[in-house]
A and B are shown apart, each in its own frame.
Chain A
Amino acid sequence: DADVTQTPRNRITKTGKRIMLECSQTKGHDRMYWYRQDPGLGLRLIYYSFDVKDINKGEISDGYSVSRQAQAKFSLSLESAIPNQTALYFCATSDRDRGPYEQFFGPGTRLTVL
């Protein structure tokens, strides 16, 4: 089984809808991250969390919110989806005690907002 899982893997929705993307991990890592990837722009950090009570904004947090329900779960919400949020979304994890702090990614969620 994959260490980092994301659901759904693909989603098509309409402008204005609320969408939640979920991430679960069995790696036992304390740190979790949400990124989006757009062609030509690379990976950009949306939000990150260092433990259950810690939430931090990344480079492009506007229009998104997150919830860290447990150490193993980190969900990303789009409160009112818009077409320019069409992208590939990745969840990632890292271990506080394991230098040099590389991150491990889930398989991604392909989101299309019409």
Chain B
Amino acid sequence: RKEVEQDPGPFNVPEGATVAFNCTYSNSASQSFFWYRQDCRKEPKLLMSVYSSGNEDGRFTAQLNRASQYISLLIRDSKLSDSATYLCVVNSGHSGAGSYQLTFGKGTKLSVIP
């Protein structure tokens, strides 16, 4: 099983739609979880951290299910500017020096269509 697995998409949705991305991770010791956004040929940028209680930032909601080792990202009222690749990222949770390594999913591509 891959460490961090995402549906590669692409997801093509109309403006105003709600879209959800899912991600599973294999390391049950993982401690920190993130969603990054990457525009074409640009660097990944942190979108939001994911907390056990779930968290919301405007139109974006992230949720974590530790028992199922599952992370989700919900985008409401999609905008054209949301078109990008969304990377699920997990702290590998190893002890010692490896504690701060991040493992990146391959990303889910979103295209929001006018």
Contact = CB atoms under 8 A, between A and B. Distances in A.
Where chain B touches its partner, the secondary structure class is mixed
B43 A90 contact: yes
Contacts of B101: 45, 48, 58
A105 B104 contact: no
Contacts of B67: none
Interface in B69-114: 87, 91, 97, 100-102, 104-107
B43 A102 contact: no
A100 to B, nearest CB: 4
Nearest to A88: B41
Contacts of B97: 50, 54, 56
A79 to B, nearest CB: 24
A101 B107 contact: no
A40 B91 CA distance: 21
Contact of A90 (B32, B44, B49): B44
Interface in A26-41: 31, 40-41
B45 interface: yes
A82 to B, nearest CB: 23
B43 A42 contact: no
Interface of B: 31-32, 34, 41-46, 49, 87, 91, 97, 100-102, 104-107
6 contacts: A41-B106, A42-B105, A88-B41, A101-B91, A102-B32, A108-B41
